[in-house]
Structure 1
Amino acid sequence: MIRFLIKRFVQDYENVSDPEVRAAYGMLSGTLGLINNFVLFALKLTVGLVINSIAVISDAFNNLSDFCTSLIQIFGVKMSCKPPDKNHPQGHGRSEYIASLAVAFVIFSVGTRLFGSSFEKMIRPEQPTVNVTVLVLLSVSVFVKIWMFSYNRSIGERIDSEINKAAAQDSISDAAATFVVVLGTFIGTFTTFPIDGILGLVISFLVMYTGFKIARDSASLLLGRSLSDDAVQKIRKIALSSEVITGVHDLIVHDYGPGKTYASMHAEVSQLSDIVEAHDQVDRIEQKIYKELGVKITIHMDPMESAKPEGKEE
């Protein structure tokens, strides 16, 4: 279904490097999140109030927080796709990381509130009233969240969007939480043990952990996460494939948002090399690195008296 929606609402959907296409993907996933999470919130809140279950009500407000995160997602995508200006010459790509961090804070705050209400419910337990219709409705919501996980993960990987990846993590944790609620609500009809409050506590911890994990990943990106070891090795391998480059060092990376990774590096060349030929080869290496890794790199040539043995460049 998500493929049909992408083809229907995202023009030129295969050109994911285009900021406008990325924005269209973000708007689509954000809008789906708004609709799905609001419907799930209304459904679960109604069910929770009818059967007097704090676990279901907690799960409902978890979906309300997801509704808010979808709003933040749309805002973040819009901001990140703004073109560069005088004060932000590298664009606004990091806005997406900031939006992901805001999503994390909303999720974590909801988890702390759910913890308090669930703890109180555990101390003063009330038996929920359950029927088959309630269990079916809650089970359907699990499948909705699994679908949301699927399309957010797909879009996140396709356009390399941290906020979509965060939404995917949140959706799968929500699906697990609701499944636990369904199971616990069913078991709770056969016992006086305060399982409703205990399940509420479990959900609150799950929600808080999701918020913490998203915050950790977003903060790492904002602080300037380095390239993976695999990407660094690929850059070195591509550079050393040139006949004139005998070594590389001082690789520095700057991440300005998805699709906006810049780097600089020193390449060692023999002082006896033809400067024009060496410059042409370095240009080709820069283009090859960008084509294969999406990193816009600037390589500075360092003339060397003699070639260093390969493997001792750094």
Structure 2
Amino acid sequence: MIKFIIRSFIQDYEAIHNKQVREAYGVLGGVLGVICNLLLFIIKLTIGSLIHSIAVISDAFNNLSDLGSSLISIISAKMSNLPPDPEHPFGHGRIEYIASLIVSFIIFSVGFQLLKSSFSKILAPEKVIFSPILMLILFLSVLVKVWMFFYNKYIGETINSSINKATAYDSLNDVIATSAVIATTILEHFIPFSIDGIVGLAISFLILYTGFKIAKGTVNLLMGLSPNPELVHTINSKVREGQYIVGTHDLKIHDYGPGRIIASIHAEVLDTINIVEAHAIIDDLEKRISDELGINIVIHIDPISTDIEKNEQIKVFITNRVYEINEQFSVKNLRTTKGLNCTNTIFDLFVPSSIKKTDYKEICKLVSERIVQNSPQLNIIIDTVNPIISEAER
């Protein structure tokens, strides 16, 4: 159904790297959220009032907070698409992350209010009135939230939107919460005491936990996370597809908001290639990556030395220095480029699989220092650190 709605309301819906199309996805998701959550809030508040259930009323106000989240997603979709200005040369894409943080604060606020109401209901319990028709309506509201989970998840994955992904899993929590409310209301019909306040308390904790998860994920994005390994592999692979490019290294990715990724990478080309031809190949690669991945990338040319004898001498020297650190370490895929006052030396380091990945950074530092200590004219670039897989581990 969501695909039909997208096709009906978004022109050029397949051009997801287009900022206008991406904005249309965000606005559409927000509008659907406002409509669904407003409807659910009215229904649940009415039912909760009629049957005197704090759990249902809690669930209703949870939907009201979701409505606020949908409004914020609409505003953020519009604002994050504003063009760059002198104060924000990379655009306003991170507004979407700030919007997600605001959503988490709204969820926290609702969670604390419901926590307070649920405590009051535990201290002064009131019998919940059972109504099969009202329970059926609540069950239908669960189906609405299931649909909201899937459509938000689809939009979030399609346009890589943090706020839609957060809304999707918030909707999934709502499915759990409302299902618990229905089960509690039915159960109270058969038991002599009230557990409505306890369930309301549990729902409030669920709401608070959702707010915490969204806040944590958003803060990580604002602070800067390590790039997605799949994206790293994709960029490296696409650059290496270029004619005369024999390798890549030193990839850097900067996230200025969904659809606003800026990257740089060093492309290794043979030093026998004409510079004009190499430049044309790089220009073509930058354009292709921009068109296919929506990433603004700068590719730096590193002419790889074809002096086999010199490269072999350097490899023997580095291998010996690495061997001094650990006899099980090995060097592979070594190549060199001539710098102004140094020789850039790039290679892959292989270490025993028993060594933890958290120690790789320290090992790279140790290897670099040992090599430079003995040969200051070398600039060491360890491209990757890989575990040595033994026959037994295979």
* TM-score of the pair, normalised by structure 1: 0.91
CA distance in 2, matches of 1:123, 1:218: 37
Deviations 1:145-189 (A, max 9, x none): 111112211222222222111111111111111011001110011
CA distance in 2, matches of 1:289, 1:42: 48
Aligned to 2:67: 67
Aligned to 2:24: 24
Aligned to 1:160: 160
Aligned to 1:102: 102
Aligned to 2:238: 238
Aligned to 2:36: 36
1:229 aligns with 2:229: yes
- Percent of aligned positions with the same letter in both sequences? 52
SS of 1:88's equivalent in the other structure is: coil
How many residues align? The count is: 314
> Is the contact between residue 127 and residue 189 of structure 1 (CA under 8 Å) also seen in structure 2?
no
Distance change in 2, residues 1:248/1:7 (3 Å): closer
Aligned to 1:2: 2
Equivalences for residues 153-302 of structure 1 within 5 A: 153-242=153-242, 244-302=244-302
1:298 Cα offset (Å): 0.5
Higher relative contact order (CA 8 A, sep 6+): 1
Gaps of 5+ in 2: 312-332, 336-346, 349-381, 384-394
Task: Please tell me the residue identity of whatever aligns with 2:8.
Answer: R
Equivalences for residues 117-136 of structure 1 within 5 A: 117-136=117-136
1:291 Cα offset (Å): 4.4
CA distance in 2, matches of 1:19, 1:106: 27
1:63 Cα offset (Å): 0.8
Aligned to 2:111: 111
SS of 1:221's equivalent in the other structure is: helix
User: Which protein has the bigger strand share?
Assistant: 2
Distance change in 2, residues 1:236/1:16 (3 Å): closer
1:309 alignment partner, one of 331, 334, 354: 334
Aligned to 1:48: 48
SS of 1:222's equivalent in the other structure is: helix
1:206 Cα offset (Å): 1.4
1:288 Cα offset (Å): 4.0
| Deviates further, 114-123 or 146-155 | 114-123
CA distance in 2, matches of 1:289, 1:136: 51
Distance change in 2, residues 1:287/1:108 (3 Å): same
CA distance in 2, matches of 1:236, 1:22: 25
1:41 Cα offset (Å): 1.0
CA distance in 2, matches of 1:299, 1:194: 66
CA distance in 2, matches of 1:82, 1:145: 31
Task: Please tell me the residue identity of whatever aligns with 2:7.
Answer: K
Aligned to 1:93: 93
| Deviates further, 81-90 or 98-107 | 81-90
| Deviates further, 14-23 or 167-176 | 14-23
Task: Please tell me the residue identity of whatever aligns with 1:285.
Answer: L
Structure showing greater radius of gyration is 2
CA distance in 2, matches of 1:21, 1:238: 25
Distance change in 2, residues 1:142/1:80 (3 Å): same
| Deviates further, 13-22 or 128-137 | 13-22
> Is the contact between residue 264 and residue 299 of structure 1 (CA under 8 Å) also seen in structure 2?
yes
Task: Please tell me the residue identity of whatever aligns with 1:19.
Answer: K
CA distance in 2, matches of 1:232, 1:159: 18
> Is the contact between residue 17 and residue 293 of structure 2 (CA under 8 Å) also seen in structure 1?
no
CA distance in 2, matches of 1:225, 1:80: 20
1:246 Cα offset (Å): 4.1
1:287 Cα offset (Å): 3.4
* TM-score of the pair, normalised by structure 2: 0.74
SS of 1:309's equivalent in the other structure is: strand
1:216 Cα offset (Å): 1.7
Distance change in 2, residues 1:247/1:23 (3 Å): closer
CA distance in 1, matches of 2:243, 2:18: 34
CA distance in 2, matches of 1:12, 1:281: 30
> Is the contact between residue 84 and residue 92 of structure 2 (CA under 8 Å) also seen in structure 1?
yes
> Is the contact between residue 38 and residue 64 of structure 2 (CA under 8 Å) also seen in structure 1?
yes
> Is the contact between residue 40 and residue 141 of structure 1 (CA under 8 Å) also seen in structure 2?
yes
CA distance in 1, matches of 2:148, 2:241: 44
CA distance in 1, matches of 2:68, 2:265: 42
CA distance in 2, matches of 1:145, 1:88: 37
| Deviates further, 64-73 or 218-227 | 218-227
> Is the contact between residue 97 and residue 163 of structure 1 (CA under 8 Å) also seen in structure 2?
yes
SS of 1:73's equivalent in the other structure is: helix
Q: How big is the alpha-carbon RMSD for the aligned residues of Structure 1 and Structure 2?
A: 2.1
1:281 Cα offset (Å): 2.6
1:192 Cα offset (Å): 3.2
